[in-house]
Amino acid sequence: MGSALNIQNYEDVDSWETLMFLYNAALKEISTKIDILNDEFQHIHRYNPIEHIKSRIKTPESIVKKLKKNGYESNVTNMVKHVNDIAGIRITCSFTSDIYRIADMIANQSDLKVISRKDYIKKPKDSGYQSYHMLVSVPVFLSDGVVDTRVEIQIRTVAQDFWASLEHKIYYKFEGNAPEYIRRELQECAKIVSQLDERMLSLNETIQKFHVNPCDSAS
């Protein structure tokens, strides 16, 4: 039988295989928490705030590219210290109000530590990008101890996710240097997405004010 990993601190990890093991374990922990929170919300409120959950780990190529862009050598130590979004979970929901509700539900988990929050909905990026980002530390329970591991959580509406997917394709198609007219059009689309989210939220709030009596719909 092999010996335990004997890891005491996430930032002390110096092996690529061990690092990937921790990130995969952390994603499983977070995914389970989110599933349970979603099920609880459905049980209490008869409403499902989450449309989709997607987890991913950055490819080695993407990690190296990000390190080089920020002037760091490509090694495991720099990956741990300077790349916070290697392990990521994206949550898509129907309405902007759900974004903040889900973020608070996650932050209230007693064994999670919220390291940072970035609200690109109230303050979008120059490109028009809108999303809510949380960097959290989740405990990974091993046979010989607990290792707190960082995971980035992105929460956005379906419309915001659609826009972000297109921006991602454009970024890689033009290697970050898209023509000005395409950037302008993308910014205009971001405004339309924001207006759509606002109108959809308003419409949903109006609908919620109506209480349908089950007897009224009976044949």
Dump pLDDT digits (tens) for 46-60.
Answer: 888 999 999 999 999
Between CA 100 and CA 53 the distance in angstroms is 16
Q: Rounded CA gap, 191 and 74, in Å?
A: 38
**200 contact partners, CB below 8 Å, separation of at least 6:** 94, 95, 159
Helices 180-208 and 96-107 pack at an angle, to 10 degrees, of 80
45: closest CA among 3, 101, 87? 101
Q: What domains are there in the chain, each with its CATH number?
A: 10-158 (3.30.460.10)
Q: Residue 135, by phi and psi: left (phi above 0), alpha (psi -120 to 50) or beta? A: beta
**pTM for the whole structure:** 0.87
Model confidence band, residue 31 (pLDDT cutoffs 50, 70, 90) = very high
